[in-house]
Amino acid sequence: MLEKAIDFSHSLLKKTVVPGDIVIDATVGKGNDSLLLASLVGPSGKVIGFDIQEQAIKQTKEKFLLTGLSERLELHQTSHEHAHTFIPENKAIGGVIYNLGYLPGGDKSITTTYQSTLTSIKHLLPLLRVGSLMVLVVYSGHPNGLKEKEMLLNYVSGLNQTDYTVLSYQFINQQNHPPFVIAIEKRKKKHPI
Ligand SMILES: C[S@@+](CC[C@H](N)C(=O)[O-])C[C@H]1O[C@@H](n2cnc3c(N)ncnc32)[C@H](O)[C@@H]1O
């Protein structure tokens, strides 16, 4: 059976994130993606999460207290444009997830925008460990969404295939802008002999 976009994004991360990894949740929201990542990185790993809204940070902290996984999570109430500055020096990251759009149950006028999303992607891509993934769940049904989708697809389809493999996973016969997934894999560089 075909997985929904969000389930597919999680399946990809389950295959690639390993215990001990440092991973990024670029849009924490209600903390569901952070929770999945925390279960994958194990006690020696770390999830570093970003959201611009206090409500998202608060909800996620509370969610983690209930699970006992708080020690694996570091939250920052700031834009994901700054995420790269929170990665320890010389450390590669084992995965990144963006779940774009607005906070479910929150203020629908506060959404991700293509400007900050692209800036952040450009900073984080070079930090990915070889074989790991940046996964984006893209919602184009809100006012900023269509432009964000267009700008993202334009950028990722131009990434050099020697460095990155880029996948788009989408349902093409559904109405009302169903979410879709973009996954970017960091490839191993072939060394010249
Ligand atoms: C669809 S929600 C995320 C859902 C979430 N990952 C979950 O598991 O529940 C999108 C979130 O992105 C946040 N956001 C918007 N612009 C942002 C930015 N520049 N940096 C970080 N987060 C941002 C919003 O505040 C919102 O909470």
Domain layout of the chain by residue ranges: 5-186
Q: Is it the case that residue 190 has pLDDT exceeding 70?
A: no
For 120-129, what is the mean pLDDT?
A: 98
Q: How confident is the model at residue 188 (pLDDT cuts 50, 70, 90)?
A: confident
Mean pLDDT of the chain: 96
Atom 20 of ligand 1: nearest residue by CA position: 79
> How does pLDDT run across 29-72, given as a tens digit for each residue?
999 999 999 999 999 999 999 999 999 999 999 999 999 999 99
Atom 23 of ligand 1: nearest residue by CA position: 51
For 88-112, what is the mean pLDDT?
A: 95
Give the architecture (CATH level 2) of 5-186. Answer: 3-Layer(aba) Sandwich (3.40)
For 147, residues 6+ apart whose C-beta sits below 8 A from its C-beta are 114
Q: Is it the case that residue 143 has pLDDT exceeding 90?
A: no
For 126-131, what is the mean pLDDT?
A: 97
Provide residues with CB under 6 Å of ligand 1: 27-33, 50-53, 56, 79-80, 99, 101-103, 110, 112, 116
